[in-house]
Amino acid sequence: MKFGVIRFPGSCDDVDALQAAQRVGGAVLLWHADRDLQGVDAVIVPGGFSYGDYLRAGAIARFAPVMEEVAEFAREGGLVLGVCNGFQVLCEAGLLPGALLPNVSLKFVFRQVELEVTNADTPFTRACARGERLSIPVKHTTGRYYAPPDQLDWLEAEDRVLLRYASGHNPNGSLRDIAGVCNEAGNVFGLMPHPEHAVDALTGSTDGLKIFESIRADVADRGLLRVASSPAVR
């Protein structure tokens, strides 16, 4: 299993994401200007301030050469995880629904929050149980999830809200306490909290590992399926 973590100018959580991924599998950094995903099994778009957050967070990073490859990879069913700025980039790129707006407080928030797993039947949350609470930090200024009400209804009806802030833990005014959503096909997932910062007991929680373990397990299953189905292809 090989993760690929994208590094944009201004990324700052790329190394943490790389090291978190390396706890469950192999991982390499992918440069924003390259069009080569190096055969990775899953892509992580990390947090930070890609291209200085100029114009809008994520607005310019979506046009990076590597993002064309990520879009193609996603179209083919590859797993893509966007964290914080990565979530913003995926929304701007149209790979995820909605947008992230400035926090209602207009302040930078940096704290541990409790999340509730609202759908555990996905490649990104399968190591969790539905209703389980995860303790994972947030750190952002632009994290208020927004989508028009009819789109929110649709996301909920399709069970595409995978994580919500637990009651009293919404740090940014996200509509319906949404912390993370996936695309229609279920293979692209974005969230504002940072699972890569919750992988070692030293920093208070290892709950973030469950996201990486979920991806590893899913890729492993896909590998088995590929092997199992390959003779039938010919």
The interface region with another protein, picked from 28-36, 94-102, 115-123, 211-219 by CB under 8 A, is 94-102
Q: Is 196 annotated in the active site?
A: yes
Q: If binding is defined by CB under 8 A, does position 13 make contact with another protein?
A: no
Q: By C-beta, is 63 or 110 nearer to another protein?
A: 63
The answer to whether 23 and 127 are in contact (CB under 8 A) is no
Q: If binding is defined by CB under 8 A, does position 31 make contact with another protein?
A: no
Q: How far apart are CA 21 and CA 194, in angstroms?
A: 13
The interface region with another protein, picked from 3-11, 69-77, 100-108, 109-117 by CB under 8 A, is 100-108
Q: How far apart are CA 200 and CA 209, in angstroms?
A: 9
Q: If binding is defined by CB under 8 A, does position 129 make contact with another protein?
A: no
Catalytic residue (one of 69, 84, 91, 116)? 84
Q: If binding is defined by CB under 8 A, does position 143 make contact with another protein?
A: no
Scan for tokens 């996936």, then name that residue: 182
List 9, 10, 25, 102, residue binding another protein (CB under 8 A)? 102
Q: Is 194 annotated in the active site?
A: yes
**Least separation in angstroms between CB 54 and another protein:** 11
**Least separation in angstroms between CB 172 and another protein:** 10
**Least separation in angstroms between CB 44 and another protein:** 23
Q: If binding is defined by CB under 8 A, does position 106 make contact with another protein?
A: yes
**Least separation in angstroms between CB 148 and another protein:** 8
The interface region with another protein, picked from 24-32, 140-148, 178-186, 216-224 by CB under 8 A, is 140-148
Q: Is 84 annotated in the active site?
A: yes
Binding site for another protein (CB under 8 A): 55-56, 59-60, 63, 92, 98-99, 101-106, 144, 146-148, 173
Instruction: Give the active site residues.
Output: 84, 194, 196
